[in-house]
Structure 1
């Protein structure tokens, strides 16, 4: 195994592979519908995207030399604070551009070997839904919906205390060495990545470091660095892979040991997981055993009832990975609907700044076509000329993420809200009265239309295309048979409802 992996690393550490990784990263950070440069952040080395791209061949050659010699060291991470949806702060680690490339090629090189354990059995393969190809939050949501339909309606909705910040290096290194060997190039590079510290986004006086600071000088202020003795940096592709590795033994314990004592279903997304049961009285017993097992691997289960809670789905909704579940439907979490509305409101408020002329109807058509529609459809998809299927990554959009929902009324209400808010703006600013037909003439793509379009689309079926695919985001979240059946019946019911309203208007 080790020899084969070493040879694979040698192949991936060639300049051509590093250059291809940069170009893929560049595409990932580019909004093709909005003209402009990719939104590539700068690390502590002070090397901007423009500089790195200009010297791409030389820099990839230097990276390759260091990687092949085994002398490569990661730069200190630039740390920034982000607000958590549930409150509090999360520290994200921004890597330098060269380190992002190295993370990506190392991830691609060892991915297949790491995945072997995660895919050991069909049941185990379904458990871990984050940071894996073909898995996603919508995929996790579809699984949970299917389990609820099977009668698993009592949930232990669990959260681990500061998971990424408190991972034991000793325990993680043992796992990596067992999997990849003790002194292999992959193990050495992963250990260096894990140990790499971060530069706080504020200095000792509370002043936030801006880009100019990193352009002027390298971060050699040792007093301000955070030396990492536990935990792993958040924000890179390797972080998610390492998190899954760390929790793999826990996953195996749940499905092989705990599931033998209690009939249950288990779904995990990073450090958040749900255990579903058919009997409410079992939740406390499962909670106790889970907490004990996590202590064995040097982790702690949240005791805060807002973090780890028991949910009777027949009475209260379960919220997980951005979705809301009841006995009948997968819905969009209310907080995510509010965020979407806030973003649409921001777009509407910016309409006056668009230089699209004084013709009000032209301004309206432009706003619908180039602002609202782009918000609804997201980035464009590449279509195969042979079979007409989607090539490569699927669309990244708000509706693309929530396409697994089964409550269509939610998006219908959002469509009404969008038309109402846009109408209010154009009447207030230009005294233009709008009705539903005006939006149709302007070519408005509704969320409901996009929802059904996403379900009708198909992936490219060409053998050549399939052999070259494999992006981490290239997944169809609606794989669960019961979810497909629910969506099918939902479509039929909505179709019949429309006919009934036309035949028998109120």
Structure 2
């Protein structure tokens, strides 16, 4: 893959095609593709139209042996899943295990080629990149100066991509092209009805996010060509700020006219590939001043806004002494805070008859994951407020479980206590289980990925450091990564940003969490370790 990446970087198409052919024909690549969809994938047990949900080991080997590309594909099964925080549902495509494995194999070959081509400010569904990088890029784009912002969403991006335009942009080998076309035209099985697919690439396919990124590649370049110009005494190049995460993007500039013109340019560019902006989710705001009734904007669950302050408070950023009279703060959005509280409330309501230990085990992953996601921005006050609200909800839960005559002090003493000097906690009587707080998670600024860097560039030190600092990693995983120098304790291979990591308890006692009893392994390696002792129930430690 590293060789494909480098050949693509230098524009050697012939070498890229040769290396891709070698990779997709190798036995190691085939078993890796099968393992990715049958062991590592979160939806590995979801059946396609053939009804097959899991494979035994000998069936996995047989599948790997017959894995090859052609111009055929089985239909994709459509299921409807609820949108987060909404009553409406969205379609999800579920290919068969065989098609998923073929897609995973092709992704191994296509992804490094396109990682060498993709634009630097594209962050969604790309290895080594995250929403936190996108937010850091936005901060860098506005920290020096307030700007107008076009916050836009592409309407039904996965469902409406023009097949011909996508295949032409792919510019791949005839074998790859025929197989991709077969997937695009495979049809959708919704219940007992088969629908043809003349456009779009269904959400749910292993290769669909990569194909969507390929279709949207070029948006940043067209803006740069259209709006870049020379300004200032030193004739420095000025360009419009642009950040894209999958089908959501923001465009920033100090000139409203430029933003409006750029919106028109993007609409025309999208129309050529069969896409359009979603009017209800496309708006223009200003980061500091009120524009159309409000200032700031929400993106990926974060609220980005600039607040007035004195010259001394505004200070300097990036080495400039320019006094701006405002400071940029990024916080959790109100909508996402409310969605999180609703989820907490729902869990508490659903565990009315559960033990305190069961309630704690249900709440902890939700609290830990949400707090980790927002641990890179100005969330301290938000965390404190949410913890106060949760205390009130838990107090109501505890109050209902005790006699009406019991006073509040007795209720608190039965369910709260001081845990090993770590402060006041919602904790069981035996001190074994306690509820983590949002405030327990340290706020630490995320360091944005450098330019066009990719995990395929071979810089193991850089990517090892980034992986250990990932905001969604638990502390125990970060410590084990450092201790094991970024390698799996079972297979000895280096961990990558795409790997699912799990903590293995050496003595098989999951209550013994001493560091010397823990090792970090791949999920599939964990399966191997426990294969003689039944199914592994450990949770993945990365979101």
> Same fold per TM (> 0.5)?
yes
Q: Distance in 1 between matches of 2:487 and 2:28?
A: 25
Shift of the 144–474 alpha-carbon distance from structure 1 to 2, 3 Å rule, reads farther
Please give the per-residue CA displacement for 1:101-141, whole angstroms capped at 9, x wherever unaligned.
332232223221121101xxxxx32x111110111222212
SS at match of 1:433: helix
Matches within 5 A, 1:272-291: 272-291=248-267
1:469 aligned to 480, 495, 507, which one?
Answer: 495
Q: CA deviation at 1:310?
A: 0.6
Count of aligned positions: 398
- Report if the CA contact (8 A) 2:188-2:194 is conserved: yes
Q: CA deviation at 1:59?
A: 4.3
236-245 or 72-81, which deviates more = 72-81
More helix by share: 1
Q: Distance in 2 between matches of 1:144 and 1:87?
A: 31
Matches within 5 A, 1:299-314: 299-302=275-278, 304=279, 306-314=280-288
- Report if the CA contact (8 A) 1:156-1:275 is conserved: yes
Shift of the 41–266 alpha-carbon distance from structure 1 to 2, 3 Å rule, reads same
Query: What's the RMSD between the two structures over aligned residues?
Result: 2.9
1:297 is matched with which residue? 273
- Residue 197 (structure 1) aligned with residue 187 (structure 2): yes
- Report if the CA contact (8 A) 2:223-2:240 is conserved: no
Q: Distance in 2 between matches of 1:318 and 1:12?
A: 49
- Report if the CA contact (8 A) 2:223-2:262 is conserved: no
Q: Distance in 2 between matches of 1:270 and 1:276?
A: 17
Q: Distance in 1 between matches of 2:151 and 2:208?
A: 23
SS at match of 1:237: coil
SS at match of 1:44: coil
More strand by share: 2
- Report if the CA contact (8 A) 1:92-1:234 is conserved: yes
Q: CA deviation at 1:15?
A: 5.3
Unaligned ranges ≥5, structure 1: 30-38, 119-123, 204-223, 355-362, 378-396, 476-506
- Residue 440 (structure 1) aligned with residue 425 (structure 2): yes
Matches within 5 A, 1:3-402: 3-11=18-26, 16-25=31-40, 28=42, 40-49=45-54, 52=55, 54=56, 56-65=57-66, 67-68=67-68, 70-71=69-70, 73-84=72-83, 89-118=89-118, 124-125=119-120, 127-176=121-170, 178=171, 180-181=172-173, 183-184=174-175, 186-201=176-191, 224-260=193-229, 263-302=239-278, 304=279, 306-314=280-288, 315=290, 316-327=295-306, 328-354=328-354, 363-364=355-356, 366-367=357-358, 369-377=360-368, 397-402=369-374
SS at match of 1:275: strand
- Report if the CA contact (8 A) 2:38-2:45 is conserved: no
2:10 is matched with which residue? none
Q: CA deviation at 1:368?
A: 5.9
Q: CA deviation at 1:229?
A: 0.9
Q: Distance in 2 between matches of 1:24 and 1:147?
A: 40
Shift of the 19–173 alpha-carbon distance from structure 1 to 2, 3 Å rule, reads closer
Unaligned ranges ≥5, structure 2: 1-15, 231-237, 307-327, 404-409, 419-423, 428-433, 445-469, 502-543
- Report if the CA contact (8 A) 2:160-2:200 is conserved: yes
Q: Distance in 1 between matches of 2:402 and 2:103?
A: 51
Q: CA deviation at 1:318?
A: 0.5
TM-score, with structure 2 as normaliser: 0.67
Q: CA deviation at 1:269?
A: 1.1
- Report if the CA contact (8 A) 2:152-2:281 is conserved: yes
Shift of the 353–428 alpha-carbon distance from structure 1 to 2, 3 Å rule, reads closer
SS at match of 1:465: coil
SS at match of 2:108: helix
2:400 aligned to 425, 428, 442, which one?
Answer: 428
Q: CA deviation at 1:352?
A: 3.5
- Report if the CA contact (8 A) 2:151-2:282 is conserved: yes
Shift of the 471–104 alpha-carbon distance from structure 1 to 2, 3 Å rule, reads farther
SS at match of 2:26: helix
SS at match of 1:406: coil
SS at match of 2:150: strand
Q: CA deviation at 1:376?
A: 2.4
Please give the per-residue CA displacement for 1:322-350, whole angstroms capped at 9, x wherever unaligned.
21111132121222222211221222123
288-297 or 315-324, which deviates more = 288-297
* More contact order relative to length (CA 8 Å, sep ≥ 6): 1
Q: Distance in 2 between matches of 1:295 and 1:348?
A: 47
Shift of the 471–434 alpha-carbon distance from structure 1 to 2, 3 Å rule, reads same
- Report if the CA contact (8 A) 2:71-2:181 is conserved: no
Q: CA deviation at 1:351?
A: 2.5
Q: Distance in 2 between matches of 1:229 and 1:341?
A: 41
